Chain A
Amino acid sequence: MAEPLKRTPFYDFHVAAGAKIVPFAGFEMPVQYPTGITAEHNAVRRSVGLFDVSHMGEFEVTGPDALAFVSRVTANDPAALDVGQAQYSCFLHEHGGIVDDCLVYRLADRFMIVVNAANIAKDWAHITTQLGNDDARLVDRSDDTALLALQGPLAQAVLQPLCPGVDLEAIGYYRFATAEVAGVQCILSRTGYTGEDGFELYHSPDQARKLWDAILARGGVTLTGLGARDSLRLEMAYPLYGNDIDDQTTPLEAGLGWIVRMRKASFVGKTALADQKAKGLRNRLVGFRLKERGFPRHGHSVYVGGEPFGHVRSGTVSPSTGEAIGTAYLPAGGAATGTSFEVEIRGRRLGAEVVETPFWRRGSHR
């Protein structure tokens, strides 16, 4: 029996706003509002959009060995974080494949690790197994945490009047503060998944309505769904777990070497990555554009030198540039910018070429 789908505290507001609701990662989520995906996407690039991303999971780590534990189960280095700073990281299998990608927040008395909704159970099983003799306590706060993402060049202007107690200008990229927003206690971080400036607001589900109403009452904020979230993140070539990265791909192959700190004494997956580095990568994730008209989508077959080579990991027609763009793994020896290959769409092989990423370079994020 499939688990019944969960709803975020904002579900009724999505329905009232006319959202198209789809099952996603075990939740009933808005894929788009009547505005439409393209217009929602453009609103985030040009002004500001509001996403409900409460489906995301949050794990809390406390105790004397919290830092040592987080350092061992994630590939990046949490010791490098100041209190009030976050970093992009991932959990690895011993074989080097990616269990999940995540954000690690360092608070004064704890760490918060934010994970993908689809992976909450898998991640929990993985990290609790790694706890060993560490004097650390793990709590799954996913059901007690609601999350809104306010994204776009106007995000700060919209949000600042709601939180007079904190100077948003002073919160740098990947920094956060704990502050009241419209009277609601939030972890307010300058992070996002769109390439635009913006904030993510972690708060208690029972305060969800108050926060939602206060932000929308500011005016000029477009409700934005998962459809726009996907095209925005893909234009930035931000990986999506399950598409671009998965249990079988390593961060080195995915171009995420920058979130792996090999100089750490030890972490789960380090040996496998060191081995992969020594032997050289076989495959590498690249960004591509189609040279002919077509709409590349996840799962379309890729051909290199006329031979099948995996499939398109992510694809779309970029709302910002109009180009057909996507990602695919190519042989590491033949993945340079300008390399030609083919993508098969409904029986037709279309020419593609490797391009530099991100696909969109004019974002307001900082």
Chain B
Amino acid sequence: MSKIPEHLLYTEEHEYVNKADADDSVEIGITDYAQGELGDVVYVDLPAAGTKFAQMEPFGTIEAVKAVSELYCPVAGEVVEVNAALEADPSLINKDPYGAGWMIRLRVKNPAELERLLGPNDYATHIGQ
């Protein structure tokens, strides 16, 4: 069973959004289910801070041993921070996708978009769990 934390929001493309912080920024990464399906991550291409994305626009790619996948930005916004630790150790995405394996921090342009993401129960249904 893949971990699906209760406090996160999800996309059908298997990204998660963590809005735990009080400010208007969110942490984005891929779900435990996604890392399990991809297998060992070899590297991840992430955008530079300051880059802006529309909702569900590709923001990067993730190369795993078996396949490459696009990463989709769950909500529109501007990248304010990139997880530099992934450059040296991309396996953090496999080991701790919701923690040390986060990818980008995004300043959300339109908080209403967050309401259209999947909750944990809907995401569980989506992956057949």
Looking at the complex, which one of B43, B63, B65 makes contact with A231 (CB distance below 8 Å)?
B65
Closest chain-A Cβ to B33's Cβ sits at a distance in Å of 13
Residue B7 is within 8 A (CB to CB) of chain A in the complex: no
A-side contacts of B39, CB under 8 Å: 20, 32, 36-37, 227
Looking at the complex, which one of B40, B43, B68 makes contact with A293 (CB distance below 8 Å)?
B43
In the complex, the chain B residue whose C-beta lies closest to that of A39 is B40
Are A346 and B40 in contact (CB-based, < 8 A)? Answer: no
Distance in angstroms between the alpha carbons of A39 and B43 in the assembled complex: 16
Are A295 and B40 in contact (CB-based, < 8 A)? Answer: no
Closest chain-B Cβ to A15's Cβ sits at a distance in Å of 16
Looking at the complex, which one of A31, A319, A346 makes contact with B66 (CB distance below 8 Å)?
A31
Residue A221 is within 8 A (CB to CB) of chain B in the complex: no
Chain A, range 294-333, C-beta contacts under 8 Å to B? 295, 297, 316-317, 319
Distance in angstroms between the alpha carbons of A319 and B42 in the assembled complex: 9
Residue A160 is within 8 A (CB to CB) of chain B in the complex: no
Are A38 and B61 in contact (CB-based, < 8 A)? Answer: no
Closest chain-B Cβ to A21's Cβ sits at a distance in Å of 13
In the complex, the chain A residue whose C-beta lies closest to that of B66 is A227
Are B65 and A316 in contact (CB-based, < 8 A)? Answer: yes
Distance in angstroms between the alpha carbons of A329 and B122 in the assembled complex: 48
Looking at the complex, which one of B43, B65, B68 makes contact with A38 (CB distance below 8 Å)?
B65
Closest chain-A Cβ to B128's Cβ sits at a distance in Å of 15
Residue B31 is within 8 A (CB to CB) of chain A in the complex: no
Chain B, range 51-99, C-beta contacts under 8 Å to A? 61, 63, 65-66, 68, 94
Are B66 and A36 in contact (CB-based, < 8 A)? Answer: no
Are A37 and B66 in contact (CB-based, < 8 A)? Answer: yes
Closest chain-B Cβ to A240's Cβ sits at a distance in Å of 15
In the complex, the chain B residue whose C-beta lies closest to that of A228 is B65
A-side contacts of B68, CB under 8 Å: 295, 297, 346
Closest chain-B Cβ to A226's Cβ sits at a distance in Å of 10
A-side contacts of B42, CB under 8 Å: 295, 317
How big is chain B's contact interface, by range? 10 to 19
In the complex, the chain B residue whose C-beta lies closest to that of A345 is B68
A-side contacts of B63, CB under 8 Å: 295, 317
Are B43 and A346 in contact (CB-based, < 8 A)? Answer: no
In the complex, the chain B residue whose C-beta lies closest to that of A20 is B39
Are B61 and A346 in contact (CB-based, < 8 A)? Answer: yes
Distance in angstroms between the alpha carbons of A20 and B94 in the assembled complex: 16
Chain B, range 6-59, C-beta contacts under 8 Å to A? 39-40, 42-43
Are B65 and A227 in contact (CB-based, < 8 A)? Answer: yes
Distance in angstroms between the alpha carbons of A316 and B43 in the assembled complex: 12
A-side contacts of B61, CB under 8 Å: 346
- Give per-residue flags for A21-34: 1 if the beta carbon is below 8 A from chain B beta carbons, else 0: 00000000001100
Known contacts being A295-B63, A346-B61, is A36 close to B43, with CB within 8 Å? no
A-side contacts of B65, CB under 8 Å: 37-38, 227, 231, 316-317, 319
A-side contacts of B94, CB under 8 Å: 36
Closest chain-A Cβ to B47's Cβ sits at a distance in Å of 15
Closest chain-A Cβ to B11's Cβ sits at a distance in Å of 21
In the complex, the chain A residue whose C-beta lies closest to that of B91 is A38
Closest chain-B Cβ to A318's Cβ sits at a distance in Å of 10
Distance in angstroms between the alpha carbons of A185 and B122 in the assembled complex: 53
Closest chain-B Cβ to A64's Cβ sits at a distance in Å of 49
Closest chain-A Cβ to B88's Cβ sits at a distance in Å of 12
Distance in angstroms between the alpha carbons of A297 and B61 in the assembled complex: 15
Distance in angstroms between the alpha carbons of A39 and B68 in the assembled complex: 19
Closest chain-A Cβ to B1's Cβ sits at a distance in Å of 12
Q: Which of B42, B61, B65 has the most CB of A within 10 A?
A: B65
In the complex, the chain A residue whose C-beta lies closest to that of B67 is A297
Closest chain-B Cβ to A27's Cβ sits at a distance in Å of 18
Distance in angstroms between the alpha carbons of A37 and B65 in the assembled complex: 7
Distance in angstroms between the alpha carbons of A146 and B63 in the assembled complex: 34
A-side contacts of B66, CB under 8 Å: 31, 37, 227
Closest chain-B Cβ to A169's Cβ sits at a distance in Å of 35
What are 23 A-B interface contacts by the 8 Å CB criterion?
A: A20-B39, A32-B39, A36-B39, A36-B40, A36-B94, A37-B39, A37-B66, A38-B40, A39-B40, A227-B39, A227-B66, A231-B65, A293-B43, A295-B42, A295-B43, A295-B63, A295-B68, A317-B43, A317-B63, A317-B65, A319-B65, A346-B61, A346-B68
Closest A-B pairs by Cβ, 9 of them: A295-B63, A38-B40, A37-B65, A317-B42, A36-B40, A37-B40, A37-B39, A295-B42, A32-B39
